Structure 1
């Protein structure tokens, strides 16, 4: 028997413990939601060790599974769209279709119990993320439009020889990273009977922001007969995935250097770190000097509105910004110049720009495709501000964060907080093998980064 095979033991479906009145109405998707229909589900998971102080009576996989199911059912009362299903209404006369969430359609959230005869060390102490990690998630390479037939939320709990991995796959047309981790945080609090400390999700606020643009209501029809007409299924080349750790002191040094180089005091630590990684990755990939390289940033639009939307607004409220230059110009300028390009990109992205883009989208819808991002350079997604390590489910602080195969391509970089906190950052970088080896041999990069010890 192959010990590196994930074996599914059982599966069931979890519905909200009770229905709320809002679930009887369609949950309409916004432009930010609909633009994600061709992306993959979000797949992130947390790795836990079994606390040594728990005896057999206090911990058993059966008890853990039952408590997770019970708390998930309660959590879905607040996050009721995740228990629904995508539906499409077609207007043949106008050659349009309306995609929305039918909150009472479908079987609910999927819940899988699986086993894997490997240890925590087998998962986190290898040179690269082992391929088996992808099997710790459901919905492998499913695109969000597949939510017409697949559950919008699937949880997989995998027993390891000395730990547990909880992986969540959530439809990216329903949540962005902020909402994704809000769900995790709420579920963890409810599991710990501490449900009053997490703000409830707020729905519909973005709809109110654009509903009067061009006389548009909450229902947004797409100029297609079938939603799958916009789907593009991207198949990434073979990649190596590796976590690099940047201590808080290293991040601060990069920020100080970037501001010194640019003779400003406005560049943030994350802008400096992103600039450093962009230069390092492009140097490692040995691109032609005159080739255009891009740095893309997934950016949260909530604080861009005036007045800003609350952080607990549920749904997608993100965009991907990009700045570009030539390889030669990027590598021959100092860190401050590169970080300044990113800083200006971010500070100029304000309320007017966001609203103008929403209005333009209603006139001419644009849908993100992964192959659009797989070009020379990097795409920085997720955020070290997300509370990933605050989810314990009675098992203590997670040992590590890992992700599935979703939304990966050459140059994709996923940011997570460092386990020790304090401003440290973990970056999961995805590159072809030869480029990854070159990055590992880059003295400047490795002087700042260390192999993740989680």
Structure 2
């Protein structure tokens, strides 16, 4: 892990803030020399709580166990700003009855899913002795037109922190839609659409549209809202290319 972090050195630091009291602004940056570094945790199940790989799979399907215990998530309500004191990268290795579980936790202020999987890939290559094949990260800052390398946040440090109360009764559910399920959903939606519109054009509704509509119906139905109420649902997917286009 320490070898992999040589090229991903920002993950071993902490966030730092520079305050500009004259104009009530602040600057947040990554200090690679601050803090104890990235965290590696080795955990084992107790005698009363022996977990198998199948238990993990079942957990994702029905959330019968607390899956977050396999990640160094910290307390409920933790936000990216807490990277000033909490590690920016934590890796927890948990012994299972018939395997191991690797839980990676990264501060989202540093990167996205592509970034963490890049690190995991490099870590795997180092472990397998394929260090020469490592694809090193590129630390290239993106700035909007008219802005320089220093971007001051137009508010003080205290104003930049927003925390939300987490309802302890809130339950997490993880859903997985297989290719076969989406194909059936798409076929059903197009069949109903063609029947209602007397249109013989097949597959006029895409897989993404069919899945998004199904999720929208499910979300609005479970809210049990009056018919005149407004409902908003935000689905975010693969935003990196869009952000790149925005800044370039």
TM-score of the pair, normalised by structure 1: 0.46
Match of 2:66 among 129, 132, 149: 132
How big is the shift at 1:88? 0.7
Q: Distance in 2 between matches of 1:270 and 1:149?
A: 40
More divergent stretch after superposition (99-108 vs 282-291): 282-291
Q: Aligned to 2:122, what secondary structure does the other structure show?
A: helix
Q: Aligned to 1:82, what secondary structure does the other structure show?
A: helix
Structure 1's 124 and 302: CA in aligned 2 closer, same or farther, altered over 3 A?
closer
How big is the shift at 1:123? 3.6
Q: CA RMSD in A?
A: 2.7
Does residue 1:284 correspond to 2:217, yes or no? no
Does residue 1:231 correspond to 2:161, yes or no? yes
The answer to whether the 8 Å contact 2:17/2:29 transfers is yes
How big is the shift at 1:133? 2.1
The answer to whether the 8 Å contact 2:58/2:64 transfers is no
- For each residue in 1:128-150, what CA deviation from the matched residue of structure 2 results, as whole angstroms up to 9, or x when unmatched? 31453222221323211011111
Partner of 1:118: 50
- For each residue in 1:161-209, what CA deviation from the matched residue of structure 2 results, as whole angstroms up to 9, or x when unmatched? 33322111110111112212222222223222334656332222523xx
Once the two structures are superposed, the pairs formed by residues 235-246 of structure 1 within 5 Å of their partners are: 235-237=165-167, 238-246=169-177
The answer to whether the 8 Å contact 1:78/1:200 transfers is yes
Q: Distance in 2 between matches of 1:76 and 1:175?
A: 15
More divergent stretch after superposition (178-187 vs 237-246): 237-246
Partner of 1:103: 32
Q: Aligned to 1:298, what secondary structure does the other structure show?
A: coil
How big is the shift at 1:110? 0.8
Partner of 1:173: 109
Q: Distance in 1 between matches of 2:105 and 2:96?
A: 19
Once the two structures are superposed, the pairs formed by residues 243-282 of structure 1 within 5 Å of their partners are: 243-258=174-189, 261=193, 268-282=206-220
Partner of 1:201: 137
How big is the shift at 1:102? 0.9
Q: Distance in 2 between matches of 1:267 and 1:106?
A: 52
Q: Distance in 2 between matches of 1:101 and 1:254?
A: 45
The answer to whether the 8 Å contact 1:123/1:130 transfers is no
- For each residue in 1:309-350, what CA deviation from the matched residue of structure 2 results, as whole angstroms up to 9, or x when unmatched? 5xxxxxxxxxxxxxxxxxxxxxxxxxxxxxxxxxxxxxxxxx
The answer to whether the 8 Å contact 1:119/1:163 transfers is no
Structure 1's 275 and 236: CA in aligned 2 closer, same or farther, altered over 3 A?
farther
Partner of 2:153: 222
Q: Distance in 1 between matches of 2:133 and 2:235?
A: 30
Query: Looking at CA atoms only, which structure, 1 or 2, has the larger radius of gyration?
Result: 2
The answer to whether the 8 Å contact 1:156/1:166 transfers is yes
Structure 1's 300 and 222: CA in aligned 2 closer, same or farther, altered over 3 A?
same
Q: Distance in 2 between matches of 1:84 and 1:205?
A: 18
TM-score of the pair, normalised by structure 2: 0.81
- Structure (1/2) with the larger strand percentage: 1
Q: Distance in 2 between matches of 1:200 and 1:285?
A: 46
The answer to whether the 8 Å contact 2:39/2:87 transfers is yes
Partner of 1:298: 236
Q: Distance in 2 between matches of 1:255 and 1:289?
A: 27
- For each residue in 1:48-98, what CA deviation from the matched residue of structure 2 results, as whole angstroms up to 9, or x when unmatched? xxxxxxxxxxxxxxxxxxxxxxxx112112211101110111112122111
Q: Distance in 2 between matches of 1:174 and 1:259?
A: 41
Q: Distance in 1 between matches of 2:80 and 2:91?
A: 16
Q: Which runs of 5+ in 1 are unaligned?
A: 1-71, 310-350, 359-454
Q: Aligned to 2:50, what secondary structure does the other structure show?
A: coil
